[in-house]
Structure 1
């Protein structure tokens, strides 16, 4: 009975397609978020910035703020706005701290982390300073 199920460690073609679709949807959401931020006067410093602690989707600045941005897209906007869990919040704080240590020129007096959430129809919600509670 071979061919009925993928062997351990291998994903099925359907799973790979879903993963690719999710990846592309995430990239599209990040581009939409960036356009919103640029429309509000922010300038991009980096996108998908990877560190040993994790990744920041977007890092933007204006004359007053340095803002790390997590972008989430789910079927419903309410699911997107609650998709950030404490463990991920901790990783994001460590990631931003690492970036500021390795790039002191990015430091600002005012730094925060925002969440920009989208639903499947493109509706969005921008929640500022989401990690202050952590």
Structure 2
């Protein structure tokens, strides 16, 4: 790996961590509880896992310079990996797959602008 590639990777890591911190603050301001960040399941990583009462929220955080660019970073294959990993996480819950849950997308752009799209992968 070249030094430039390593630097780009580090910058992306730090930018992602900063965006996740912004997302966490937005959820905490809504009264949710953080359960895990960067949880690794058998199908991949989930950026944030939170609780809102009995409901488990799985959040994928995307960041860029604009809202539209952040939203464009959401890919179907990645959505499927998050969905599959969420299922694996729910296996450890007392109600298993019957646990109330939703999958959110959090867009972070500019100087800390944030939008939480609830149930982004579901219906309604």
* Residue 39, structure 1, aligned to residue 26, structure 2: no
Question: In the superposition, relative to structure 1, how do residues 109 and 95 fare at CA in structure 2: closer, same or farther (>3 Å)?
Answer: closer
Structure 1 residue runs of 5 or longer lacking an equivalent are 1-10
Q: Which runs of 5+ in 2 are unaligned?
A: none
Q: CA deviation at 1:109?
A: 4.3
Larger Rg belongs to: 1
Select between 106-115 and 83-92 the one with higher mean Cα deviation: 106-115
Residue matched to 2:101 = 111
Secondary structure at the counterpart of residue 118 of structure 1: strand
For 1:93, what is the secondary structure of its paired residue? helix
| Conserved 8 A contact 1:113-1:128 | yes
Structure-2 residue corresponding to 1:6: none
Report how many residues are paired.
122
Q: What residue in structure 1 maps to residue 89 of structure 2?
A: 99
Is contact 2:93-2:99 (8 Å) kept? no
- Structure 1 runs of 4+ with >4 Å offset: 106-109
CA RMSD in angstroms comes to 1.6
1:48 and 2:45 are equivalent in the alignment? no
Question: Which residue in 1 is equivalent to 2:113?
Answer: 123
Q: Which has the higher strand share?
A: 2
CA distance 1:40–1:98, shift in 2 (3 Å): same
